[in-house]
Amino acid sequence: MNSRAFWPTAEVFKALAERTQLTDKTGYCTGLAICNAAGQPMQHFAQGEMAHFYYEFEVRGEIGVPCVGLEFQDATGQVIYGKTSFQCELKNPHKVEIGHRLRVHHAVRLDVAPSNYSVTVGLASLDAANYTMYQQRLLTHQQFANLCREHCRVNNCGVFCVGLAAQDQLLHYGIVNLPDQIDVTARQPAGLPSVNPVGPIAPPVLPTIFHVTHWKAGSQWIRRILSACVPELIVPPQSGESQFRFWPIQPGKVYPTVYVTKQQFDHVRRPAGARHFVVIRDLRDTLVSWYFSLKFSHPLTTPQLAQARLAVQELSLEAGLIYLMEEWLAPCAHIQLTWQEAGEPLIRYEDLLTHDTAILERVLLDDCQLPVTRQRLRAVICANRFENLTRTRRRGEEDVLAHERKGIAGDWRNYFTDRVKRVFKARYGGVLITTGYETDLAW
């Protein structure tokens, strides 16, 4: 394939709706294609394989010297790789006519850890005079960043998976590969006989563990505990639960924060002996927690989240709670109901707040057989308690800008007006009764 002349056919591209783009209306991304070296659409790559990203921007207004680029993030949102055409020192066109399109072919060698990754692409520009200064190294990075004007960004516009290389080999540990050199020598010490090994020792068979929950039910708290105990076994969560619903399950691994219904869970083939536990939370506190998280602290990883934040910030507290009740809370309620109706044992977030060690020892060590000592688990649980994470605050002391906002149960009583109560009872009162949080609607 002649990479300079090649451009994928239209059906290979993923169309990107304008409403999902963050733009100043001078530029829009028309599509993205992820291909292998042969130009074939591809989502599964091996470590060290070249991935070819093709994306295009339509210019609809006056811009300066164009700068295009991409980045990809892991499940935690950490940027693993990012580069623009300015950093590649290309001969960028100094002017792009309105109505023209910028086509980008970006090839990346995937020397990264096996995992799932999401792609973000963007278009920016710099005026011609400052671009010349940038080329001559007369601008610091901070000056350059302040002068650059961003026209379009499309977050999470594509996904791909990196797996093991040929013969199922892991090429390196950690997030990325680095240039290196290793020398190893071996010799037999003088006068000592060789030792014959007794044979290979079979590794222990570990159960695959799934932490099933819904949003704002202490999911990141439990995830931190699991990650601190067995970091090498964690399968990072992905947008849309793709790591669980759409990729092959990895035996012996631990899957934190799996937001799925009982039906979705049963639809996935799991390894024999797999274990799972389900955590739920009072939907009223779930709603209040999401309100403050969305309004102040939650990362805006999608355009939808950015739009929802603007909506919440423009509404009163009462109207904002009702808005989120109608637009967001239903999936949480649905997850709760499907597991409750299936007769599954449920762990309440509220009980974890007061009996974290006793419950998690039973669930993680006795039931799920997490490969960690009881002493280590207790130390990790203690380190991840509210008081130790916030350092300066006790439970109940609020910081609306922090992810660990308040750390208590029943906080909804401080924010539910009579109107919010009426709407909530009409929508979710039955769920509270079914899950045992209330016995009737007289609360």
CA distances to 356, 380, 408, 421 from 361, in Å: 8, 11, 21, 36
**pLDDT computed for residue 38 by the predictor:** 84
The label of the residue with tokens 């060290």 reads 48
Tens digit of each residue's pLDDT (9 = 90 or more) over 224-250: 999 999 999 999 998 889 899 988 899
Q: Which of 35-49, 212-226, 264-278 has the lowest mean pLDDT?
A: 35-49
For residue 125, give every residue at least 6 positions away whose Cβ sits within 8 Å of its Cβ, in sequence order, or none: 63, 64, 65, 66, 67, 148, 149, 151
Annotation: CATH topology of 10-166: Coagulation Factor XIII; Chain A, domain 1 (2.70.50)
For residue 246, give every residue at least 6 positions away whose Cβ sits within 8 Å of its Cβ, in sequence order, or none: 240
Nearest to 322 by CA among 400, 442, 428, 217: 428
Q: What is the mean pLDDT of residues 99-106?
A: 92
Please state, as a whole number, how many other Cβ atoms lie within 10 Å of the Cβ of residue 355. Answer: 12
* Same fold yes or no, 10-166 and 209-434: no
For residue 334, give every residue at least 6 positions away whose Cβ sits within 8 Å of its Cβ, in sequence order, or none: 261
Element (H or E) spanning 159, and its range?
strand 149-163
Phi then psi dihedrals of residue 410, to 5 deg? 80, 15
Token output for 442: 């007289």
Token output for 194: 């060789």
Phi then psi dihedrals of residue 43, to 5 deg? -120, -15
**pLDDT computed for residue 239 by the predictor:** 82
SS3 content of the chain, % helix, strand, coil (to 5): 35, 25, 40
Q: How confident is the model at residue 294 (pLDDT cuts 50, 70, 90)?
A: confident
**pLDDT computed for residue 167 by the predictor:** 59
Token output for 50: 């070249």
**pLDDT computed for residue 197 by the predictor:** 45
Three-class SS of 102-120: EEEEEEEECCECCEEEEEE
Identify the top-confidence range among 104-118, 122-136, 277-291.
277-291
Angular region, 204: left φ>0, alpha ψ -120 to 50, beta rest: beta
Token output for 67: 């700068």
Which amino acid, residue 38?
A
CA distance 151 to 102: 13
CA distance 212 to 261: 9
pTM exceeding the 0.85 threshold for the entire prediction: no
**pLDDT computed for residue 205 by the predictor:** 72
**Domain boundaries defined on the chain:** 10-166, 209-434
Q: Which of 262-271, 288-297, 325-334 has the lowest mean pLDDT?
A: 288-297
CA distance 146 to 150: 10
CA distance 360 to 442: 33
Which amino acid, residue 165?
A
CA distance 85 to 137: 16
Tens digit of each residue's pLDDT (9 = 90 or more) over 8-17: 998 889 888 8
How many whole angstroms from its chain centre is CA 43?
Answer: 17
User: Integer distance in angstroms from the first to the last C-alpha of the chain?
Assistant: 68
**pLDDT computed for residue 184 by the predictor:** 67
Q: What are the contacts of 129-133 at 24+ separation with CB within 8 A?
A: 131/64, 131/65, 131/92, 131/94
Token output for 408: 């208590």
Q: How confident is the model at residue 255 (pLDDT cuts 50, 70, 90)?
A: very high
The label of the residue with tokens 């390894």 reads 271
**pLDDT computed for residue 20 by the predictor:** 79
Tens digit of each residue's pLDDT (9 = 90 or more) over 139-191: 888 888 888 899 999 988 888 888 877 656 778 777 888 877 666 666 666 65
Annotation: CATH topology of 209-434: Rossmann fold (3.40.50)
Q: Which of 76-80, 87-91, 253-257 has the lowest mean pLDDT?
A: 87-91
For residue 31, give every residue at least 6 positions away whose Cβ sits within 8 Å of its Cβ, in sequence order, or none: 13, 14, 15, 16, 55, 56
- Cβ proximity of 74 and 117 under 8 Å: yes
Whether the predicted pLDDT of 327 surpasses 70? yes
Phi then psi dihedrals of residue 15, to 5 deg? -70, 140
Side-by-side strand order, sheet with 14-15? 14-15, 27-35, 50-59, 101-109
| Farthest-apart Cα atoms in the chain, separation | 88
Strands 209-212, 275-280: pairing kind: parallel
